[in-house]
Amino acid sequence: MTTNAATDPMIGRMIDQRYRVRSRIARGGMATVYLATDVRLERRVAIKIMHGHLADDQAFRERFIQEARSAARLSHPNLVGVYDQGAEDDTAYIVMEYIPGITLRDLLQEHRALTPEQATDILRAVLAGLASAHKAGIVHRDLKPENVLLADDGRIKLGDFGLARATTANTATGAALLGTIAYLSPELVTRGAADSRSDIYALGIMLYEMLTGEQPYKGDQPMQIAYQHANDTVPVPSAAEPGVPPELDDLVAWATARDPEDRPRDAREMLDHISGNQQRATGQYRTAVLRPENATAILPAGSAAPSSADTGRRDSGAQDDATRVIASSTGGAPAAPGRRGAPGPRRTGSQPGALSPAGQRLADKSAKRRKRGWIVLAVVVVLAVLAGVVGWALGPGPWGNVRIPEVTGKSVAQARQLLQAQGLEPTARTDSRYDAVVAKGQVSTTKPAAAREVRKGTPVQIVVSDGPRMITLPAIVGQPLSTVTAALDDDFQLQDDQYEFSADAPKDTVIAANGLGSDGQTVDLASVGEYAERGPVTLTVSLGAVPDVTGTTLDAATAALDEVGLVVGTQQERYSDDVPKGQVISSSVEDSPAVRGSAVDLVLSKGPTPITLPDVAGKTIDEATSTLENLGLDVEVPDCTNVLCRFYDWKSALPVTATDPVKGSTVYRGDTITLSYEQ
């Protein structure tokens, strides 16, 4: 699954000043797993981050930390390694080994059922890792195909110890059963308690599913499936898939027995059983049980020989498996009290210490056995020495296994030194590939990959990064944000969008796009034709024009600005003959460009400009009229009723004697002033 910073704020974030989150891998019930870069060690890691809504729940937080502690105690090639654990602000996280590949669930969805050989190989790898956990006293408690990782390089690893508990801890869960219902053992369903045999039950269900392509129990409700686990016997896989061999039928039946006492006690016992079956099936190994040689008593001189009855029985082979101890005696005297020896053989001839024929045969047989014993001892010593030499050669010696070191991000020379230090042989010829994380010229990976166990002396090819692949950019500026995001999301790392107000671009239109060049400088992506794969892209998006609040009241202007994320800045007042008092005359933004949170300064109207009425008395009517009209006032002059006014221009001749309102009064533009004069 791919996502971007517009939908997942974790992407692009630096955690604990060390882990740069790159992309999302998977999301589960307790946490989300991301691909990240450990900038300190220059390696890719998987980082599991607890969901924010669970961080305040102490029980969930403790369970999350328990996963890290449980997994960190384990180290095995078939277990996902845990590197680090911590918390930052309200974020709890676990840093794990990154395994590129698919899960067993993905493989089953693609192929439905696996061949018996494939299923056995996967089961053996899971059992090997699980045996290490069981030996350390850890029960996984959540075994299912989703937690079995199949790496691109062929490695098989078991991960997600999110429900793991120490076997000595109280594993009861009360009313809530943890784990996936399809793989829960009967004792987990009925009692809520689990031990290593509960993991074996889950593995038996997984083996059934691998062989048949389906789970043994089905139901519309989880409790229906749980009831079947607790009360029914798991059918043999061959009933659903006739090609399954009887040995695997028996293995499923053994692992899924309803009574835990009837199952393997742990993963090691089941793994040893599988290995033994394979050896017998292939004929590669045969074990012979040798009956031990029975001890033979040494007959000292003068000791008694067996009776004729005993001699007869030995000669006939009826009691050849045991040699009786012969008591010392003289002549035919009976054995000492309390001992069960038969009467001793009589001497023949006159030579001292001579034995009867039967006694001589017994002595000769004893001598042969002693000789054969020395030969066997010599062989055992030689084999022990050879075993020691082979053990040394396969361990610290030249034939031993070593783990390929992590060299990602190193120079080629440094990588060669690290590989040689491990007893590996870096090939003279390197390979190359595009790498969106590792800088050009540095080591991207190795073939075989890091952490894989190989023989000392194994050739290892170094793969050098060609840097990120260059990708042609689509049209960006002037396009809708949704269109640009969909076009860039799969190939680039979209950072948090930046928003600003623009009078020239409609709302939610991209007005700029910036990236980072190889020199770390900002690049205008609108001016280049291509850009590095997985490179960071920051889009600048239009918020539309700043709202025009001219002519509105202060309250209305404040509400309009607040709706788009702007705030009211300074407020000035000014007289206006055109804008009513209390309304906005004009607005301006100091920030350029304006963004959310920018302040908008307002100029508010104080109403019309006041005018102090001047003294125009003594001026002619025309002069007074001109003076007052220049101030924006209207002038009214009563008609002249004197008959003489008809014969001359009386307005230019007669002086003003008074005004209404009187001089010094406050008037406003448009007010009417009435002039008085003597007729």
Assess contact for 408 and 42: CB atoms under 8 A: yes
Neighbours of 152 (CB within 10 A): 10
142 noted as active-site residue: yes
Place of tokens 């979209």: 494
Assess contact for 675 and 616: CB atoms under 8 A: yes
**Whole-angstrom distance, CA of residue 35 vs CA of residue 47:** 6
Assess contact for 131 and 271: CB atoms under 8 A: yes
Per the structure block, which two tokens stand in for 608? Answer: 């019309």
Where do the DSSP E strands lie in 215-371? none
Per the structure block, which two tokens stand in for 33? Answer: 């797993």
Where do the DSSP E strands lie in 142-259? 148-151, 156-158, 165-166
Alpha-carbon distance values, 621 to 242, 448, 639 (Å) = 124, 110, 12
Neighbours of 325 (CB within 10 A): 12
Catalytic residue among 38, 142, 195, 199: 142
Exposed e or buried b per residue across 542-572, where buried means at least 16 C-beta atoms within 10 angstroms of its C-beta? bbeebbebeebeeeebbebbeeeebebbeee
Assess contact for 407 and 446: CB atoms under 8 A: yes
Place of tokens 């195909």: 145
SS3 of residue 82 by DSSP: strand
Per the structure block, which two tokens stand in for 531? Answer: 């850009």
> How many Å from the N-terminal Cα to the C-terminal Cα in the chain?
99
- In this structure, which amino acid lies at residue 643? V
Active site amino acids: 142
